[in-house]
Amino acid sequence: MPNRPSLLILSFSPIRSDPRVLKQVQLFAPLYDVTTCGFGDAPEGVVEHIEIPGEARAWVDDRVAIATRRYEKAYWNIKAVAEAKPRLAGRTFDGILANDLNAIPLALSLEPRRGVHGDLHEFAPKEKDDDLRWRLTVAPFMRWMCRTYLKRLTSITTVARGIADQYEADYGVTVGVVTNAAPYSEREPAPVHSPIRLIHSAAGQRYRRLENFIEVMKDAPPNVTLDMIVMPHEPDYVAELRTLGEGVPGLTFRDPVPYARLVDTLAEYDVSMTFLPPTNFNLAHALPNKFFEAVQARLGLIIGPSPEMVAILTQYGLGEIVPDFTVESLRSVIRALTPEKVASWKQAADAAAKDLSAEAQQATWKTSIAALLGTPGEAS
């Protein structure tokens, strides 16, 4: 289509397997001339893909620059930034959608004709605030990035209201919310299995305390089983989990599946345990992909008292809230499961699936990018 505005979607991630960024591509490729820049192969539907070498790390590691607070130097020495910059040099775009804080300075430096929209996937200044060394070294750099660049953006979104509120309070910017909702899936709730099949899918990172699930299953009742899909983010930790889980009745580790197959895979189960101890700020405000994927798979949900999830689960009657993040309380909720209770949750998920789908949640992105580039179909 002639005269369509051009949009660069920039993300230091493998875009084809990054659920949030892939949803942006699928939303905007039919409307604008979308170029992507990130790791891995081109996603479908784009006019061009600029690949960043996979070995180029996307986090700050210039320790001298960080220690001496030469933050601008530290940023431009990030390997992924240094690789992307010459690949993007000389190109002109009408607008840029920059994913996460580490993409924003590069996006602004390209001076797109109509501005930059920033999509912040977490609260960057507290990303690893459970780590003392990170708090003392990297956190000040992240705060500098926010102070220096956020007000230069045309618009901003993030994943949850609590995170948006913190950005607004700390940096005086207006932040919209686009949740990590999954695309709508047309399906009926499956009958509850016997035994009841529980699933937990997660990144294999120590601060998530996935060993809690193994402890729960050591004396779980015989009417439940648990499968765990653990991505190998920290391979040593994942190996420890598998060792810890050996011989635990009803517990199985299942290999990760491609994102495109995840909802179909989850639909083989009855209840998703989206139980995330608040070991850092972002987990305390978590509203993760897995919550919404469970809804599209028509599963019930067991969650901890995470406020973002509690609000939605309560509104739609999707499952049960564990009163705290202890193993004992989680065990009590699992012991009280009945097929009738789980069946009611699955029916509630079916009733909520359209409201909680990506299609229903993305209006804020559409509005923000339309404000940047004009209504789709208008001339540049």
Q: Count Cα atoms within 13 angstroms, Cβ side, for 27.
A: 25
CB of 276 within 8 A of CB of 304? yes
- 189 part of a folded domain: no
**Within this chain, do residues 76 and 208 fall inside the same structural domain, yes or no?**
no
CA distance 50 to 328: 49
186-196 pLDDT tens trace: 999 999 999 99
| Tokens linked to 268 | 């083989």
Structure tokens at 10: 């920039």
Q: With 50 as the cut, is the pLDDT of residue 353 above it?
A: yes
Which domain covers residue 113, as residue numbers?
6-178+362-373
Q: Position 37: which residue type?
A: C
Q: Looking at residue 17, what is its pLDDT?
A: 87
Other Cβ atoms less than 10 A from the Cβ of 278: the count is 16
Position 183 in a domain: no
Asked whether residue 102 falls in the same domain as residue 244, the answer is: no
Q: Which of 127, 204, 123, 114 is nearest to 155 (CA)?
A: 114
| Averaged pLDDT for residues 11-39 | 96
Same domain, 173 and 288: no
Total number of domains in the chain: 2
User: Are both 86 and 229 inside the same structural domain?
Assistant: no
Residues 211 and 331 in one domain: yes
89/171 same-domain check: yes
CATH number for the domain that contains residue 144: 3.40.50.2000
Res. 154: pLDDT tops 90 = yes
- What confidence category does residue 260 fall into, taking pLDDT thresholds of 50, 70 and 90? confident
Distance between CA atoms of residues 363 and 96, nearest Å = 18
d(CA 54, CA 14): 8
Strand order through the sheet with 33-39: 48-52, 33-39, 6-14, 95-99, 116-120, 155-158, 176-177
Q: Which of left, alpha, beta for 115 (phi over 0: left; psi -120 to 50: alpha)?
A: left
> Does residue 123 form part of some domain?
yes
Q: Is pLDDT of 229 > 60?
A: yes
Categorize the per-residue pLDDT at 2 as very low, low, confident or very high, splitting at 50, 70 and 90. low
Question: Which pLDDT value is given to residue 379?
Answer: 42
Answer yes or no: is pLDDT of 55 > 90. yes
To the nearest 10°, report the CA torsion of 77, 283, 153, 52: 40
CA 168 – CA 225 distance, rounded (Å): 43
In 3-state terms, what secondary structure has residue 48?
A: strand
φ and ψ of 71, to 5 deg: -70, -35
Which token pair is 277?
């101890």
- 170 shares a domain with 60: yes
Asked, for residue 204, whether it belongs to a domain, the answer is yes
**H, E, C per residue of 227-269:** EEEEECCCHHHHHHHHHHHCCCCCEEEECCCCHHHHHHHHCCC
pLDDT surpassing 60 at residue 377: no
Q: Which pLDDT belongs to residue 376?
A: 72
Tokens of 60: 């700050």
CA distance 119 to 225: 38
> Both tokens of residue 99?
């994913």
Instruction: Report if residue 378 sits inside a domain.
Output: no
208 plus 165 within the same structural domain:
no
Note the pLDDT tens digit of each residue in 80-109: 999 999 999 999 999 999 999 999 999 999
Q: How far is CA 185 from CA 25, 229, 262, 343, in A?
A: 19, 21, 11, 19
Task: Determine the average pLDDT of the residues in 319-336.
Answer: 97
Mean pLDDT of 28-40: 97
Angle at 210 between CA 208 and CA 214, to 5 degrees: 165
Distance (Å, whole) CA 229 – CA 248: 16
**pLDDT above 70 coverage of the chain, percent:** 98
The reply to whether 118 and 203 lie within a common domain is no
Check whether residue 288 and residue 335 sit in a common domain.
yes
Q: Check whether 380 has a pLDDT greater than 50.
A: no
pLDDT tens-digit series, residues 170-191: 999 999 999 999 999 999 999 9
Residue 95 lies in a domain: yes
The answer to whether residue 222 is domain-embedded is: yes
253 and 341 part of one domain: yes
Rounded to whole angstroms, the Cα distance separating 321 from 328 reads: 14
> What is the mean pLDDT of the segment spanning 107-131?
96
| Mean pLDDT value of segment 8-22 | 95
Side chain identity at 242, as an amino acid letter?
R
What is the rounded average pLDDT of the residues 321-349?
Answer: 97
For residues 73 and 167, membership in a common domain is answered with yes
Q: Chain-wide mean pLDDT for the chain?
A: 95
Question: What does pTM read for this prediction?
Answer: 0.90
Token readout for 240 is: 């420890």
Q: Examine residue 105 and state whether it is found in any structural domain, yes or no.
A: yes
